[in-house]
A and B are shown apart, each in its own frame.
Chain A
Amino acid sequence: MTAIEGPPRPYSNFIPDYLKGSIGKWINHTVVRSGIIEHVDSEGRKVYSVKAGSTPNGRYSTETMRKISELARKYAGGSMRFTQALNMEFITKDLEDAQTLTNELNALGFPVGGWEGHIWNMTSCAGYFHCALAATDAPSILQSLANDLHDYFDKEELPSKLAISVSGCPSSCGGSFLTDISISGIHTEVPVVTDAAKTCDMQGTAFSCPVGAIQLKPLPDGSRTLEIRANLCIGCGLCLSACAGIIFQTPEKTDGHAIAIGGKASASRYGTTLGRIVVPFMPNEPPHYEKTVAVVRKIVETWKADAKKGERISDWIDRIGWEKFFMKTGLPFFQQSMEYLDLRGIMTIREGSGR
């Protein structure tokens, strides 16, 4: 085996040739149109980056991927990248190429857009597609949202950047809590301990529980197993990854998802914020998730009408306050949205947990 160690390096082998002379010399960028951005360096050289939307969970057939790679070969110096927000980005030498590339991408079904006051990215985790822990199918929720809101990606203007993400479980692999609108799957059932749990690191599994709901239970034959106290469990799913013998197995699945808003990854001005949960539970209703889409649309449209230019959702809420937010959007306030960390920093959510 002639193996390399680590990822392919150095990076200069993988970027377009016309970028190499300008590294570290950039002085400005301007948005030509939504999705095309012009970069100028100190010697007056220009390149254009073209940003295209991706499928909700980034799955592509090799057929499509080969077409995309052919476009990169033709217009973007034989190289392309994926942005932090998992959109496709092509870097072209002149504006004409950028525009032709835009047309070709549109013909393939990929919209070009997402800079300044638009939706920047919509990302989701794998959901039921491949993951073993998902409570909710993230990509189909995002697909419904994206179909509903796609005009804001390349056509209609918003007050500021808007990022949307959907994760299938509280692990937040999709990037929840960091985006303006984020949806996270939540487990509603209590996991079950099977016989296979005897092979796990039991103490470690008990330690992994944030609320101390897991304890070791002696069996009559002298061995020990784990016990989950249902009245304490908050459904975080952490024990499932600590021990393969713990599973969810209720016949009727009641899992759903929560909607959080006002997350912001950018550290500019007043720093980063995490998303806050406005809707604590929505049921999983494939294929179109109409209720969830309606709530998100309502939030986006209220924000669009009410916010000042340049205000992201978190800035807007900081200015008007939560009371006005619920008044303006017409959403009901749920007491389940309130912070539930008690003085000892222990999370207690279920009533009568008896701590």
Chain B
Amino acid sequence: MTEVLEEVRKGREIVSEIEKGPWPNFIREAKKTRYLVDLYGASLYLKRDLFTTGGYVSVPGVPTGILMRVTSRPDIGESANVVRVLIPSGNFMTSDMMDGFCDFADKYGVGMLHALSTGHNIEIPGIPKERVRDFAVEFRDAGFEMGSTGDAFRNVTNCVGAALCEYANLDTMQARDSFYDRFNDYAKYPTFPHKVKLKISGCPLDCARSTQKADLGIVGSWEGAPIVNEQMIKKLGSKKIDDIIQSCPTLAISASEEGIKIKGEDCIQCMGCLRKGEGAISPGKEKRFLIYVGGKLRGKKGPLTGKLLTRVNTMDEAMNLIGKIVEVFSDHAARKERMGDLIFRIGMKGFLDLMGMKAGAMNVKDLRTNIFYAVNEEDRKQIPERIVRGEPQ
């Protein structure tokens, strides 16, 4: 046995400390595998990331899905490439499928699974460069698909939706399936200026984080008042009914003989009463789909929340719009510019102009407070005219 490097020895001490404790532990898991815990320990001791990105491996038919990772300390440990796997909608997996992933991880990887990555993919780490091709061929033969890397549509994620949730306004899992039926080429081939993420939420509570973590978000909602089940609401008792009435931020709910009455035009679909209603209140019948653009956590201008682009009435319209938005994004964004940064640069009005859409009051959070504005001839003519005609938008 050759002598052990100092950073490895110190690293092992740190790692053995992390291994302790009651919460499920990733070091304890890693030690059951062939993962290079020594390399990880050394990086903790050196306080330095010992991996760098490592180029590409060309595999026919697999343009995305393989992440190359090269160690900068080959004397401690070898490189560890990662393969990203697309999994079924809602992150549902059968036991057979999981066993299949485990078999591949044992055969080609280090016997470790990353379930799940924060982008909701399964990852199989530790596949050597020479074996990536063999892996990809066998993996695709087994009926699985890799993806979600590079400047393409990253993995589309969704909340559980109608499959398990009473708040859902749409079957989000069906929506994701139909997205891949239609836009799989966008997801497979990296052709955009930067990555594009789409997340689909079933209700305005937005469990899928589609307004913050995704460039594009589809959120199911409705128009008007939620539906109140009169029999169930009476069973709740007066104290809980009071709670429901007070939960409304726009004071749209009032007490009535049948329990409560919700004024449809005042409802802002905030879900407050639905959460207090214990099943007595459910989303309204007239469904709407809200399209959000430009949310992100990373990128030039830091974290930005998505902005409401428009509301549409059917999922087909929503998907058409998604197709159009990514075309505009492809044409106008600079290289490595996220959609949120593009909108920051050209403004929401600029983006709406590119989309060929007219700005409405739903596109703004607040109005301009700065009085300086170059009013041109066109404005001087059409603003008074529209006021006289009484055009709302």
Chain B residues whose C-beta falls within 8 Å of the C-beta of A40 in the assembled complex: 279
Closest chain-B Cβ to A226's Cβ sits at a distance in Å of 14
Chain A residues whose C-beta falls within 8 Å of the C-beta of B165 in the assembled complex: 26, 29
Alpha-carbon separation in the docked complex, A176 to B118 (Å): 11
Answer whether residue A197 sits at the interface, using C-beta atoms and an 8 A cutoff: no
The answer on a CB contact under 8 Å between B49 and A131 is: yes
Chain A residues whose C-beta falls within 8 Å of the C-beta of B44 in the assembled complex: 128, 137, 140, 286-287
Answer whether residue A199 sits at the interface, using C-beta atoms and an 8 A cutoff: no
Answer whether residue B388 sits at the interface, using C-beta atoms and an 8 A cutoff: no
The answer on a CB contact under 8 Å between A82 and B116 is: yes
Chain A residues whose C-beta falls within 8 Å of the C-beta of B50 in the assembled complex: 128
The answer on a CB contact under 8 Å between A267 and B99 is: no
Answer whether residue A68 sits at the interface, using C-beta atoms and an 8 A cutoff: yes
Closest chain-B Cβ to A274's Cβ sits at a distance in Å of 5
Known: A1-B141, A133-B49. A60 touches B29 (CB 8 A): yes
Answer whether residue A64 sits at the interface, using C-beta atoms and an 8 A cutoff: yes
Chain A residues whose C-beta falls within 8 Å of the C-beta of B105 in the assembled complex: 62
The answer on a CB contact under 8 Å between A204 and B49 is: no
Chain B residues whose C-beta falls within 8 Å of the C-beta of A175 in the assembled complex: 118, 209, 213, 297
Alpha-carbon separation in the docked complex, A111 to B113 (Å): 20
Of the candidates B22, B247, B275, the one whose C-beta lies within 8 Å of that of A150 is: B22
Known: A24-B162, A272-B212, A284-B47. A5 touches B188 (CB 8 A): yes
Closest chain-B Cβ to A72's Cβ sits at a distance in Å of 5
Known: A8-B144, A170-B298, A207-B334. A19 touches B164 (CB 8 A): yes
Contacts of A25-79 to chain B: CB distance below 8 A: 26-30, 39-40, 47, 49, 53-66, 68-70, 72-73, 78-79
The answer on a CB contact under 8 Å between B118 and A173 is: yes
Answer whether residue B356 sits at the interface, using C-beta atoms and an 8 A cutoff: no
Answer whether residue A172 sits at the interface, using C-beta atoms and an 8 A cutoff: yes
The answer on a CB contact under 8 Å between A147 and B21 is: yes
Chain B residues whose C-beta falls within 8 Å of the C-beta of A64 in the assembled complex: 29, 32
Answer whether residue B353 sits at the interface, using C-beta atoms and an 8 A cutoff: no
Segment of A238-246, A294-302, A315-323 in the binding face: A238-246
Alpha-carbon separation in the docked complex, A347 to B299 (Å): 13
The answer on a CB contact under 8 Å between B86 and A7 is: yes
Counting chain B CB atoms within 10 Å of each CB, the highest count among A128, A174, A244 belongs to: A128
The answer on a CB contact under 8 Å between B163 and A134 is: no
Counting chain A CB atoms within 10 Å of each CB, the highest count among B87, B188, B298 belongs to: B298
Of the candidates A27, A47, A84, A134, the one whose C-beta lies within 8 Å of that of B209 is: A84
- Mask of B31-58 contacts with A, CB within 8 angstroms, 1/0: 0110100001001111111111100000
Alpha-carbon separation in the docked complex, A14 to B187 (Å): 22
User: Can you name the residue of chain A whose Cβ is closest to the Cβ of B295?
Assistant: A272
The answer on a CB contact under 8 Å between B303 and A177 is: yes
Alpha-carbon separation in the docked complex, A238 to B299 (Å): 7
Answer whether residue A4 sits at the interface, using C-beta atoms and an 8 A cutoff: yes
The answer on a CB contact under 8 Å between B40 and A7 is: no
Answer whether residue B316 sits at the interface, using C-beta atoms and an 8 A cutoff: no
- Mask of A146-185 contacts with B, CB within 8 angstroms, 1/0: 1100100000000000000000001111111110000000
Answer whether residue B3 sits at the interface, using C-beta atoms and an 8 A cutoff: no
Q: How many residues of A contact B (CB 8 A)?
A: 112
Answer whether residue B205 sits at the interface, using C-beta atoms and an 8 A cutoff: yes
Q: How many residues of B contact A (CB 8 A)?
A: 121
User: Can you name the residue of chain A whose Cβ is closest to the Cβ of B269?
Assistant: A267
The answer on a CB contact under 8 Å between B61 and A3 is: yes
Closest chain-A Cβ to B338's Cβ sits at a distance in Å of 10
The answer on a CB contact under 8 Å between A132 and B51 is: yes
Chain B residues whose C-beta falls within 8 Å of the C-beta of A27 in the assembled complex: 166, 279, 282
The answer on a CB contact under 8 Å between B145 and A29 is: no
Answer whether residue A266 sits at the interface, using C-beta atoms and an 8 A cutoff: yes
Ordered by A's residue number, 21 sampled pairs between the chains whose C-beta atoms are within 8 Å are A6-B184, A8-B86, A8-B88, A11-B177, A15-B92, A28-B278, A29-B166, A65-B115, A72-B98, A81-B160, A82-B120, A84-B207, A130-B125, A143-B21, A173-B119, A178-B209, A265-B207, A266-B205, A266-B206, A267-B204, A287-B18
Additional 14 contacts, C-beta under 8 A, given A267-B270, A268-B272: A24-B168, A26-B162, A26-B165, A26-B168, A58-B115, A61-B30, A64-B32, A66-B102, A69-B98, A78-B95, A79-B95, A128-B43, A173-B298, A345-B301
* B contact residues vs A (CB 8 Å cutoff): 14-15, 17-18, 20-27, 29-30, 32-33, 35, 40, 43-53, 61, 69, 80, 82, 86-99, 101-102, 105-106, 111-120, 125, 137, 140-141, 143-145, 147, 155, 157, 159-160, 162-166, 168, 171, 173-174, 176-177, 180-181, 184, 187-188, 204-209, 211-213, 219, 247, 249, 270-272, 275, 278-279, 282, 297-303, 305, 334-337, 344
* A contact residues vs B (CB 8 Å cutoff): 1-11, 13-15, 19, 23-24, 26-30, 39-40, 47, 49, 53-66, 68-70, 72-73, 78-84, 86, 91, 109-111, 123, 125-126, 128-135, 137, 139-140, 143-144, 146-147, 150, 170-178, 201, 204, 207-210, 238, 241-242, 244, 247, 253, 255, 265-270, 272, 274, 284, 286-288, 345, 347
